[in-house]
Structure 1
C-alpha cells in the first residue's frame, strides 16, 4: 500500500525545519487512502462540520495507521469549531475533559472524538488568560485549551507521524511536519524541541515508547536523547493518569517489546520503583518472570482472549515481594502474616505512583495468597482450592513462577495432573502425597481421634511460595 505513496516522495526532500506553515499536499493520486476505508460516522461528522462553515479533517493516528495498512481502532477529527459549536451541531454530542476539552459524538457504540485546533502555549502566564493555559514551575502544561488555526494545531502536536490531516471531501493529505517521511523511515520524532516538549507533558516519553513498540519504529536520536535524564518527571504526573497510560502500554498486544524499551530509556523505575529495585537485585529471575507474563498477555490479546490488569500487575510487582517477606520473617513474623503484610505494603506504595483501583488490588492479593495455599494439599484442601474462584489465576501464576526458574518441587505438574484426574485418581494422589510426606519426615502417621486438629508447621516439603 505504501509503495505508491513513497514513490511520490522520492524527489529530494527539503531540509527545512518542521513543522511548516505551508503543508506538503498529497493528492489522491499520491496516496492510497480512500473514503471507503473510513468509518461512515467519521465521514459524516467531517462533512457536517464543513457544511456548517468550519474546517474539519481526520487527524493523527487514524491517518497514520491507514498509511501503514493498519486498521485504525478509532477515528479522530480536528476542527476550527469550538467544543460548544461542535455540540450545537450534534444532538448526540458531549463535551468532556477539563485539562483538554474534547467533544464525543456518539453513534451507538462508536464514538467520534472531535478536538478544536489548538495553539502553542504561552511561555509566561502574562501572555494569555491563565484560565486557558497554565504551566507549573518545571514547564508542565496543566491546562490545554488555547485554540488556534490549523497551522497552529500542527505545530503543537507531539509527533510528526501524528501531524497528518486527511480531507475526506478532496481526498488529500496535509503533511505539516514531514510525517510521511518519518513513516517511510520508521521513525518516532517529536515536533519542536524534544526537551521542552517532554517538560510540557512528561507522558510524551511513554507515548514515544508506546508508538515505537506498536509500530516497530525507532525513536529518532534527538527525540530519544533527553528521555533518561527527564524520566523522573513522570513522578509529577497524577497517579490516576499513569494508571491509564500503563494499561495502554501493556494491554495493547506489544507489552513485551514495550517493557524492553521502558528499561532501555530508564522509564520503568519511575513507574514501578520496587520492581525496578528487584530487577537490580535478581535480574535474571525478575526479568524472566515479567517478560514471560507480558509475552503471555500479548499472545492472549492476539488470540482474542480476555486479559485482566490484576494478573498483569501481580506479575509486574511479584519480584519485589520475596525480599519484603524475608525482612518481616527475620523480625520474627510467621510466614503467612509476613506475606500478607508485605503484600499490603507493596501494593499501597505502588498505588501512590500508579492508582491501581481496588477492583484490581484485591485480586492481586488473592493471586499472591494462592501461591501460599497451593502447596498445602493434604486432606480436603486440594478439592477446596479447585473450587476457589481464584484457583485458575493462582495456578497460572504458579506456572509463570516456575517458567521463570523458581523451584517448587514439581508443584505445577502436580496441580496440572490433579485437575485432569477422576475422583478416585485424585484420592490416590493425595494418599501418595501423604505417604511421601511421612517418608520424608521419618515418622509414622498418627491418627487423631475427635477434637480440633492442631495447626502445626508446614511439612509438605514445598519451598516458601513467595520465591527463593
Structure 2
C-alpha cells in the first residue's frame, strides 16, 4: 500500500514545535542509519495546531539496539517492550515498529506474542514495517508519522482525511480491535471529547455492543485512563461521550446507576468537570484525591447520609461510605490506597469547617489535608448555595494567613 505523503511545504508541522529531547532522539537514530518518526498523537496535535503533551518516537531499531545506542535509555514493559529515553524533565517513549496480530500465534513464543481467551492481546513484541505499525494503531488520526529525514508527513491509514472530517475512525474491524484492547473504547470517547470530533458510526455502534468487555481490562490501566479523562481539559465533553456510549456503567457501575435514578444528579458532576477543565486550562496541578473526591462527592454525601440514618456516627459513616465505594470500584478501576485515604480525609474534614470557635480553625489550617478539603468545601458551598457565612469566614481566615506570611 502506497502511503499519502505530504512534503514539508504542504503541511504546518515544524521542528521548532517539537521538543528538543525528541529531536535529539530522532537525529541520533537517523545518524545511526535507522528510520525514525514522530508517531501518533503528537503528529495529530501538531497538524491541528494543538500543543502535544508528549512526543512518541517509532523506529526500526529494536529495544536492545536502543539500549546500546542511548546511555540514558531504560527498557520497560512486558506486553509492549518499549524504550524510555530519559532527559531532564522529559521521557521520550520510543517503540520499535510492530507487525500485525498473527493469525497463528503458535509460531511465536510467549515472550513475543500472546492473546487471552477473548482475543485480548497480552503480549506483543513482534516487529514489523512502518506500514504494518501504522495499521496496528487504534485510530486513523493516531497513525500518522513525521519523518525527520525529509520533514514529511506519512499517512498509511487515511488519517489526514479523517482529521479534515473531524472523525474518530478505528483502523480495521472495530469489534476485533476493541476485543484486542477494550481500553480503546474509552480512548475513542476521550479523543472525541478532547478534539471535538465525532466517533464514526461503525465504531460507535461497536462500542455500544462491546462496552461490557471493559471488565476484562487491567484495572491499573483503567485508573490511568480515568485520570486522563478527569484532567484532559475537556472532561465535560468526554463525560457526555461516555454517557452516550454506555461506557459509564462498566467503568463506574454503582455510581452510574445512581445517576440514572435521577438525571438531575448529573448537575453536580457536570459542574465538577467544568471546574476541572478550568483548572487544567490554568495549568494548575490538582491532587488525585481531589480528582476523585469532587466528581463522586454528591454520591458520597448520599451514601454517608444513608449510613447515618441507619445509626452510624458521622465519622464512621464517612469512612465506610467512601472506602466502600472506592474499594468496590477497584475491581474495574484500581484506585490506589493512598488516593482512597485522601478522599476519605477530604470528606471527613468537611465537618471541621463547622467549628469556628477557639483555636480549632488555626489548628485545622495547619494540617496537611486542609487545602484539599477547603477546595471541596468551597465548591460545594457555591454549587448548593449553602454555608455562605462559613465560606466567608474561612476565606477571610486564609487571606489573613497569607498576609501574615508576606
- How high is the TM-score relative to the length of structure 1? 0.79
Using the TM superposition, give the Cα deviation of residue 295 of structure 1 relative to its aligned residue in structure 2, in angstroms.
1.2
Q: Call closer, same or farther: CA 1:146–1:402 in 2, change over 3 Å.
A: same
Are positions 1:411 and 2:378 aligned together?
A: no
- Contact kept in structure 2, 1:105 and 1:112, CA below 8 Å: yes
Q: Indicate if the aligned counterparts of 1:277 and 1:320 stay in contact, CA closer than 8 A.
A: no
SS of 1:126 mapped into structure 2: helix
1:185-207 deviation per Cα after TM superposition (whole angstroms, max 9, x unaligned): 11111100011101100010111
**1:132 pairs with 112, 122, 128, which one?**
112
- Work out which of the residue numbers 244, 263, 268 in structure 2 matches 1:264: 244
Residue 376 of structure 1 and its aligned partner are, at CA, apart by 4.4
Distance in 2, Cα, partners of 1:337 & 1:166: 56
Give the direction of change, closer, same or farther, for the CA distance of 1:336–1:199 in structure 2 (3 Å limit).
same
How far 1:331 sits from its partner (Å)?
A: 3.9
Q: 1:241-252 to 2 correspondence within 5 Å?
A: 241-252=221-232
Q: 1: CA distance between counterparts of 2:106 and 2:366?
A: 65
Counterpart CA distance in 1 for 2:397 and 2:228 is: 40
CA distance in 2: counterparts of 1:51 and 1:421, whole angstroms: 61
CA distance in 1, matches of 2:297, 2:381: 13
CA contact (8 A) 2:75 2:83 kept: yes
**Structure of greater Rg:** 1
Aligned to 2:171: 191
Q: 1:328 to 1:174 in 2, by over 3 A?
A: same
Partner of 1:102: 82
* In structure 1, distance between residues paired with 2:21 and 2:387: 54
Matches within 5 A, 1:38-77: 38-77=18-57
- 1:280-299 alignment runs, 5 A limit: 280-285=260-265, 287-299=266-278
Number of equivalences: 398
Pick one of 316, 325, 329 that aligns with 1:337: 316
**In 2, Cα distance between the equivalents of 1:412 and 1:395?**
13
8 A contact 1:92–1:107 mirrored in 2: yes
The match for 1:218 is: 198
* Cα distance in 1 between the residues matched to 2:239 and 2:84: 32
Give the Å deviation of 1:382: 4.5
CA shift for structure 1 position 300: 1.3
Cα distance, 1:215–1:227 mapped onto 2, change above 3 Å: same
User: Normalized against structure 2, the TM-score is what?
Assistant: 0.91
Partner of 2:151: 171
Indicate the SS of the match to 2:295.
helix
1:401 to 371, 374, 380: 380
Q: Distance in 2 between matches of 1:402 and 1:299?
A: 18
The answer to whether the Cα contact below 8 Å between 1:141 and 1:201 also exists between their aligned partners in 2 is yes
Alignment partner, residue 149 of structure 1: 129
- Aligned-pair CA distance for 1:274: 2.2
Could you tell me which runs of 5 or more consecutive residues in structure 2 were left unpaired when the two chains were aligned. Answer: 399-406
State the superposition RMSD in angstroms. Answer: 2.2
Who is 1:392 aligned against?
Answer: 371
- Cross-structure match for 2:404: none
Deviation at 1:148, TM superposition (A): 0.8
SS in 2 for 1:226: helix
Indicate which of 293, 316, 337 corresponds to 1:358.
Answer: 337
Deviates more, 1:379-388 or 1:393-402: 379-388
1:420 paired to 2:401: no
Kindly state the Cα deviation for residue 97 of structure 1 after the two structures are TM-superposed: 0.9
Structure 1 counterpart of 2:64, from 84, 87, 91: 84
- Separation (CA, whole Å) in 1 of partners of 2:97 and 2:237: 33
Runs (5+) with no aligned partner, structure 1: 1-20, 423-468
After superposition, the Cα gap between the structure-2 partners of 1:154 and 1:322, relative to the gap in structure 1 and judged at 3 Å, is same
Q: CA deviation at 1:325?
A: 3.3
Structure-2 change in CA distance of 1:412 and 1:234 (3 Å): farther
Alignment partner, residue 430 of structure 1:
none
Say if 1:274 and 1:320, in contact at 8 Å, map to a contact too: no
Confirm or deny: 8 A CA contact 2:56 2:93 kept in the other structure: yes
CA contact (8 A) 2:318 2:344 kept: no
Deviations 1:48-86 (A, max 9, x none): 223323222121112111111112222221111111111
* 2:297 paired with 1:318: yes
Separation in structure 1 between the aligned mates of residue 389 and residue 209 of structure 2, nearest angstrom: 46
State the shift of 1:418 in Å: 4.8
- Preserved contact between residue 28 and residue 171 of structure 1 (Cα < 8 Å): yes
Specify which structure has the higher proportion of helix. 2
Distance 1:381 1:281, change over 3 A: farther
**Structure 1 residue 184, shift from structure 2 partner:** 0.8
Deviation, 1:379, is 5.6
